[in-house]
Structure 1
Amino acid sequence: MIIMTISIRWLGHSSFQINVDEKVIYVDLYRSKQLRERVPDALDPATLVLATHSHNDHCFPEAINEVRNSETTVIAPADCSEKIGSEITSLTPGEETTVQGITIKAVHAYNVKRFRSPGNPYHPKGFGVGYLINAEDKTIYFAGDTDVIPEMKELESIDVALLPCGDTYTMDNRDAAEATRIIKPKIVVPMHTWDKSVDDFKKQVEKETDVEFKHLKEGESFSI
């Protein structure tokens, strides 16, 4: 039996490249001038591109067009279609699809305590999603832009959790540590940090859980 390795590479901000054998998945691919300077490598053609919501730093048409070809499947909320300018597959929380043996399931992602103005969250419920990516009997949870939400209690058997912790629009370090305690992944990786320190996140995870904390440098990868 051939055992395939899954590699996870942080491209900066909330952008990740996930390789499953020869298949390439990009999640929330964002290639600002600053990120291109930090990770200048040319990117591989995509099997799958996932976008969690239509904000420009998560649904960035220029970057998507760089990696997309006629065989690429793009999965994103419906309001991303006008930005991307091509046919997409949209999943609402609870829905899933399988592409070349990789199963993608949408889950909830939203704010409960971070607001533009009173009663107006940055990411209202139903605006965006997170994703469960299942391949080779491994499950990766990409949280999207979210606070700690009740639906996290429903997540099970997560191998890797990719969690935002930069505050303002998403969880902060304390919240992300709480989410880690709830989800109980084998590995947790911080993202959407806005270049802020993740030390408090790391300290809480290492003190209160048995979860492995991986703080990647931009362009760095690891395998599971």
Structure 2
Amino acid sequence: MIDPFSKEIGLKPPKIKDDIVLVSHGHDDHNNIEEINPEAFLINTPGEYEKKGIAIRGISSYHDKVEGKERGLNTIYIMKAEDMTICHLGDLGQEKLTENQVDEIGDIDILLVPVGGNYTINYKEAIEVIGQIEPKIIIPMHYKIKDLKVDLEGPEKFMKELGLTPEKVDKYKISKKLLPLEEMKLVIFDPHT
């Protein structure tokens, strides 16, 4: 599980047995660790970790455009498992990644990128970050959906500007052999299914 949220944001937290929990930053809407499995392996700082065959690396970044002065730090997580590399940008707020961050992130198969703006990068900045990383699969996150009490934009502008036809799913299963070889693929979770 990444960034466990509380019901105060208007959504019902999922009931899953989590073995590993990643927290990108300490704000209440991403750090509801009281509700997680108490035996879960909790990661909430940059560094290198390994648990259950998953290599996890946390890279420091900013949650805002003024080097953390407004919202503090954010941790970007890179996870390697089953011959694939996944990057979760957390609540990235800096307009673009530094060269050092891009180098540390490396080659990414699947990128989870915030697109809702306000508290994170907006859809235009998200597209710039996608261009820096060049993943095979893009999964937008942190955007307005029904019942969410947080002021964010929806994913529509992002999808239009990106210019890729999204594959809308309620669950997504992927393996190395199913990764796209040529063009990037956009996958969006439909919270209403």
TM-score range, shorter chain: 0.7 to 0.9
Alignment of 1:71-86 (within 5 A): 72-77=40-45
Q: Give the C-alpha shift of residue 179 in structure 1.
A: 0.8
1:149 partner amino acid: L
Rounded Cα–Cα distance in structure 2 between residues aligned with 1:219 and 1:30: 18
Alignment of 1:27-38 (within 5 A): 27-32=2-7, 34-36=10-12
Q: Give the C-alpha shift of residue 191 in structure 1.
A: 1.0
Rounded Cα–Cα distance in structure 2 between residues aligned with 1:152 and 1:212: 23
1:136 partner amino acid: E
Matched, 1:53 2:25: yes
Say how many residue pairs are matched. 164
User: Does the 8 A contact of 1:165 with 1:198 survive in 2?
Assistant: yes
> What residue in structure 1 maps to residue 159 of structure 2?
202
Rounded Cα–Cα distance in structure 1 between residues aligned with 2:192 and 2:58: 26
SS at match of 1:144: coil
1:176 aligned to 109, 118, 126, which one? 126
Q: Give the C-alpha shift of residue 212 in structure 1.
A: 1.0
1:129 aligned to 75, 81, 99, which one? 75
Rounded Cα–Cα distance in structure 1 between residues aligned with 2:23 and 2:192: 19
User: Does the 8 A contact of 1:152 with 1:182 survive in 2?
Assistant: no
> What residue in structure 2 maps to residue 159 of structure 1?
109
Rounded Cα–Cα distance in structure 2 between residues aligned with 1:143 and 1:98: 19
Tell me, which stretches of 5 or more residues in structure 2 are unaligned? 146-152, 165-181
SS at match of 2:29: coil
SS at match of 1:120: coil
2:51 aligned to 96, 99, 111, which one? 99
SS at match of 2:189: coil
User: Cα deviations across residues 77-118 of structure 1 (Å, max 9, x unaligned)?
Assistant: 3xxxxxxxxxxxxxx2xx211101111100122145269xxx
> What residue in structure 2 maps to residue 149 of structure 1?
97
User: Does the 8 A contact of 1:133 with 1:139 survive in 2?
Assistant: yes
How does the TM-score come out when normalised to structure 2?
Answer: 0.75
User: Does the 8 A contact of 1:152 with 1:179 survive in 2?
Assistant: no
User: Does the 8 A contact of 2:64 with 2:70 survive in 1?
Assistant: yes
1:181 partner amino acid: G
Q: Give the C-alpha shift of residue 149 in structure 1.
A: 2.0
Rounded Cα–Cα distance in structure 1 between residues aligned with 2:34 and 2:63: 27
Rounded Cα–Cα distance in structure 2 between residues aligned with 1:153 and 1:128: 15
Tell me, which stretches of 5 or more residues in structure 1 are unaligned? 1-25, 78-91
Alignment of 1:12-23 (within 5 A): none
SS at match of 1:35: coil
